[in-house]
Chains A and B, each alone.
Chain A
Amino acid sequence: DAGITQSPRHKVTETGTPVTLRCHQTENHRYMYWYRQDPGHGLRLIHYSYGVKDTDKGEVSDGYSVSRSKTEDFLLTLESATSSQTSVYFCAIKGTSGGAEQYFGPGTRLTVT
Chain B
Amino acid sequence: GESVGLHLPTLSVQEGDNSIINCAYSNSASDYFIWYKQESGKGPQFIIDIRSNMDKRQGQRVTVLLNKTVKHLSLQIAATQPGDSAVYFCAENAPAFGNEKLTFGTGTRLTIIP
A interface residue numbers (CB < 8 A to B):
1, 31, 37-45, 48, 50, 58, 87-88, 90, 94-95, 98-107, 109
Question: In this complex, what residue of A is CB-closest to B104?
Answer: A42
* A-B interface pairs (CB < 8 A), number: 73
Take A37-B4, A39-B5, A39-B7 as given contacts and tell me if A50 and B42 are in contact as well, using a CB distance cutoff of 8 Å: no
Once the chains bind, are B44 and A90 in contact (CB under 8 Å)?
yes
CB-defined contacts of B97 to chain A, threshold 8 Å: 100
Q: Does B99 contact A (CB under 8 A)?
A: yes
How long is the Cα–Cα vector from A39 to B5 in the complex, in angstroms? 4
Q: Which residues on the B side are within 8 Å of A1 (C-beta)?
A: 43
Whether the Cβ atoms of A40 and B7 lie closer than 8 Å is yes
The answer to whether the Cβ of B45 comes within 8 Å of any Cβ in the partner chain is yes
A105 and B101 form a contact (CB under 8 A):
no
Q: How far, in angstroms, from A31 to B104 measured CA to CA in the complex?
A: 18
| Contact B100–A50 (Cβ < 8 Å) | yes
B34 close to A (CB within 8 Å) = yes
**Is B88 close to A, CB under 8 A?**
no
Contact with A along B44-84 (1 / 0, CB 8 A): 11100101000000000000000000000000000000000
**Chain B 16-51 interface mask (CB, 8 Å, partner A; 1/0):** 000000000000000010100000011111100101
